[in-house]
């Protein structure tokens, strides 16, 4: 079946697999990112990524497929960050700092126990989109479907919680469970994106397209859709540029997303950056 007869630069199988994985991650990471940005937790993806790195090192040390250990570490870390934040034990950014640095340091120590940094560790730090196998793509697609399903079902409730947690609680929404669900979905996003741009850059795909989308959209739902589109577009364009100019694909994808952000900030400036704070259907629609 593969390779499909697509035009350059996607005429080869490895590029088609990279494109599929890239588009899935590019489209789904910003969906979660939209909620995190709203909560002023744009760096949460980074924190989870650092914890996931410790999970990867543990997996490599134990001889287990690192995706499982990364997922366990990411979900555990995300929930712990959320727990610390919600209990007021530490402000959001201090909780993040705890996990950021423990995560990376833990990963370094575990890698040291394994003997040294093996080349596999670096590919999880910085991504290896060109060596994505068919099996990897299936896993990424499944994780992506999980994220899309979660957002499609729960976005209004999640939006109410990130907009005004107290009001949501008063309105009877299960706030704690929703926050934990969001944290869990963020962890899944980070692990899915790990193969594409690496744990150190996956947060960029969660935040930058959202920043771009906020300049273009006039409702929260619009932001979600724009962000997803810009993310997927960045993956596509990034791969084209990387192939054309022989550049590292992971970094190129993120730079394209950054360029989109700058372009939207300059061009779409007429929309107030607070536009996303309007209700789910826009200021004039039903709330």
Partner 1 sequence: MRRLVVGVTALAAALAGCGGGAAGGDGTVTVVASFYPLAEAAARVGGDDVEVTNLTPAGTEPHDLELTPAQVDAVEDADVVLYLGGGFQPAVERVAERRGGGAVDLLAELPVEEGAAGDDEHAGDDEHAGDDEHAGDDEHAGDDEHAGEDVDPHFWLDPTLLAQAVGVIERALAEAEPSARPGIEARAEAYRTELQRLDDELRAGLADCGRRDIVVSHAAFHYLAERYELAQVPIAGLSPEAEPDPARLAELTDLIGDRGVTTVFYEALVSPAVAETLAREAGVATAVLDPIEGLSRADADAGADYGAVMRRNLAALREALECR
Chain contacts with partner 1 (rule: CB under 8 A):
9, 12-15, 18, 104, 108, 112, 115-120, 122-123, 125-126, 128, 130-131, 133, 200, 239, 242-249, 251
The radius of gyration computed from the CA coordinates of the chain, to the nearest angstrom, equals 19
Do the beta carbons of residue 23 and residue 232 sit within 8 Å? yes
CB of 200 to partner 1, least distance (A): 7
Of the pair 215, 243, the CB lying nearest partner 1 is at 243
Of the pair 48, 158, the CB lying nearest partner 1 is at 48
CB of 250 to partner 1, least distance (A): 9
CB of 133 to partner 1, least distance (A): 8
Spatial separation of the C-alpha atoms in residues 37 and 162, rounded to whole Å: 9
Of the pair 121, 214, the CB lying nearest partner 1 is at 121
Residue 63, sorted as left (phi over 0), alpha (psi -120 to 50) or beta, turns out to be left
Nearest Cα residue to 127 out of 238, 41, 208? 238
CB of 108 to partner 1, least distance (A): 5
CB of 124 to partner 1, least distance (A): 11
Read off the tokens for 17. Answer: 């697999």
Of the pair 125, 191, the CB lying nearest partner 1 is at 125
CB of 1 to partner 1, least distance (A): 14
Of the pair 118, 164, the CB lying nearest partner 1 is at 118
Of the pair 29, 125, the CB lying nearest partner 1 is at 125
Q: Enumerate residues 6+ apart whose C-beta is below 8 A from 8.
A: 243
CB of 198 to partner 1, least distance (A): 9
Of the pair 97, 108, the CB lying nearest partner 1 is at 108
């Amino acid at each position: 079946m593969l390779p499909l007869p697509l035009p350059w630069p996607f005429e080869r199988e490895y590029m088609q697999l990279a494109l599929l994985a890239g588009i899935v991650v590019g489209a789904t990471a910003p969906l979660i990112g939209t909620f995190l940005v709203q909560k002023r937790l744009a760096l949460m993806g980074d924190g989870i990524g650092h914890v996931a790195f410790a999970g990867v090192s543990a997996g490599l040390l134990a001889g287990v497929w690192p995706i499982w250990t990364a997922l366990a570490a990411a979900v555990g870390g995300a929930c712990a960050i959320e727990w610390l934040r919600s209990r007021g034990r530490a402000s959001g950014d201090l909780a993040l700092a705890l996990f950021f640095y423990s995560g990376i340091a833990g990963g370094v120590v575990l890698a040291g126990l394994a003997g040294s940094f093996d080349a596999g560790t670096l590919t999880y730090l910085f991504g290896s989109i060109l060596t994505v196998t068919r099996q990897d793509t299936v896993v990424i697609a499944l994780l992506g479907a999980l994220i899309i399903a979660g957002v499609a079902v729960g976005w209004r409730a999640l939006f109410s919680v990130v907009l005004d947690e107290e009001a949501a609680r008063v309105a009877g929404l299960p706030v704690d469970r929703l926050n934990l669900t969001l944290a869990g979905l963020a962890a899944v996003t980070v692990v899915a994106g790990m193969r594409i741009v690496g744990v150190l850059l996956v947060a960029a795909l969660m935040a930058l397209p959202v920043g771009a989308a906020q300049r273009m959209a006039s409702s929260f739902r619009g932001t979600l859709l724009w962000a997803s589109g810009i993310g997927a577009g960045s993956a596509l364009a990034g791969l084209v540029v990387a192939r054309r100019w022989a550049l590292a694909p992971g970094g190129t994808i993120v730079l394209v997303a950054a360029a989109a952000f700058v372009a939207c900030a300059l061009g779409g400036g007429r929309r107030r950056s607070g536009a996303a704070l309007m209700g789910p259907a826009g200021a004039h629609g039903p709330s």
